[in-house]
A and B are shown apart, each in its own frame.
Chain A
Amino acid sequence: MSKKLRIATTSLAGCFGCHMSILDIDERLFPLLDLVEFDRSPITDIKHCGPCDIGIVEGGICNAENVHVLREFRKNCKVLIAIGACAINGGLPAQRNHLDLSACLTEVYLTEPGLVHGHIPNDPELPLPLDKVHPLHEVVKVDYFIPGCPPSGDAIWKFLTDLISGKTPELGHGLIHYD
């Protein structure tokens, strides 16, 4: 039997909904595990990505750490897949893009009722937010996109099995969704 494909996954400015959808492959995870093994992923808790065949990234880019993780994935993965609305077009976090970042932080942490003694978080361990939220393809080259918020387990299964069997992945009516 040929060597198993190595897959890494991560969630950046996302909600882990796409990862929940990956789990929605359900019992097909078993045949999938005959073909692939997982590197860095919330499933394995491996913290850094080694050389991989496929990288799957959920969420957009909203802070400096997201940029570092995404570049680590691009450097190590032969094929990089953006999964979900946030990775593809910024999604929900990008709804702040027409607002001024400091105005956002001020309203959330200082002027909103209930935060009288609040302050804008400034712990040095916190990654700095970017001025705007970006889709992945604005930062690195992305090879494939699986749209959906989140894409269904069936869509992810179809996409990955197409890709692994060497076909151009296609979703088609019923599986392709932007919502």
Chain B
Amino acid sequence: MTDTFQLDGATVPFEPGQTVMQAALAADHYIPHLCYHPEFKPHGSCKLCTVKVNGRTMASCTMPAEAGLEVESEIEEINALRRTLVKMLFAEGNHFCPSCEKSGNCMLQALGYDLEVHTAGFRHQYPDRPLDASHPDILLDFNRCILCELCVRASSEVDGKNVFALAGRGDTKHLIVNAESGQLKDSNIALTDKAMQVCPVGVILKKRVGFSQPIGERRYDESPISAQALLDAPRPSDAAGDCAACEDAP
């Protein structure tokens, strides 16, 4: 018999080794998440997937599933916390959706929509983060980086290249490119890299295709991220990298 835990009153079965997030998605239960990606080791940094497990707040993407756990996710207390996290991410970077070609395909934006976030509320920091447009085919817009490390993980774990890393600590933490010059043109990134497909926001962009998919006909225009994540789940993570959550390989 498979072990189970309770999620918002529903019984969720799990396999040994699965996390609460993996078991929930596989059983058609959505838990909001941002830095979690089925193909990579959980990072546990964005905390959007925070749930209450037996009364304690835990990141569901790193929490191993155990028989008999009482997990609460869709409760106002937790959703209020998630809203605050989304607001802080918006206030910390320069997230100007009207000029962003990722608008409509952006996970941060879609989470804001789903959580009915109408304003960041905090004092906006308006950081100065110059672009890196050095590469002929790829643009890096650091203004939108949320430090989820998905590109870092993809480049290291899948591409075996280590093109990206995070440098600095605290509020000086930022994304850097592994090249002597610090510029993307001097790295060994390729358009076919996994790192090109995983950015949940609009930092890593393929040039000259930004609006080939019109606004209004994009991923989260069809259905909200809560429904979209379940359409994708359980998401295949085979060797070919055929993952529904990723952007199409060029």
Q: List residues of A whose CB falls within 8 A of some B CB.
A: 82, 85, 88-92, 94-95, 97-98, 132, 135, 137-138, 142, 144-147, 149, 170-173, 176-179
Contact = CB atoms under 8 A, between A and B. Distances in A.
Interface stretch (B28-36, B118-126, B182-190): B118-126
A149 B118 contact: no
B128 A145 contact: no
Contacts of A149: 97-98
B123 A89 contact: no
A154 B229 CA distance: 27
A109 B123 CA distance: 30
Interface of B: 90, 94-100, 103-104, 109, 112-114, 116, 118-121, 123-124, 126-129, 215, 223-224
Given A94-B124, A178-B103, A179-B104, A170 B116 contact: yes
Contacts of B224: 173
Contact of A137 (B96, B109, B121, B126): B121
A82 B118 CA distance: 10
A135 B124 contact: yes
A86 to B, nearest CB: 10
Contacts of B119: 82, 88-89, 135, 137, 142, 145, 147
Nearest to B104: A179
Contacts of B96: 85, 89, 91-92, 94-95
Nearest to A88: B119
Give me the 4 closest cross-chain CB pairs, A-B, nearest first.
Answer: A178-B97, A98-B128, A149-B98, A145-B118
Contacts of B99: 92, 95
A32 to B, nearest CB: 21
Contacts of B127: 98
Most buried by B among A138, A173, A177: A173
Contacts of B95: 89, 178
B90 A89 contact: yes
Contact of A85 (B98, B104, B109, B223): B98
A158 B95 CA distance: 25
Contacts of A173: 113-114, 223-224
Contacts of B113: 173, 176-178
Contacts of A82: 119
Given A85-B97, A149-B97, A176 B121 contact: no
Contacts of A176: 112-113, 116, 118
A89 B98 contact: no
Given A171-B116, A178-B112, A92 B98 contact: yes
13 contacts: A85-B98, A88-B120, A89-B95, A92-B98, A92-B99, A95-B96, A145-B118, A147-B119, A171-B116, A172-B116, A173-B113, A176-B116, A179-B215
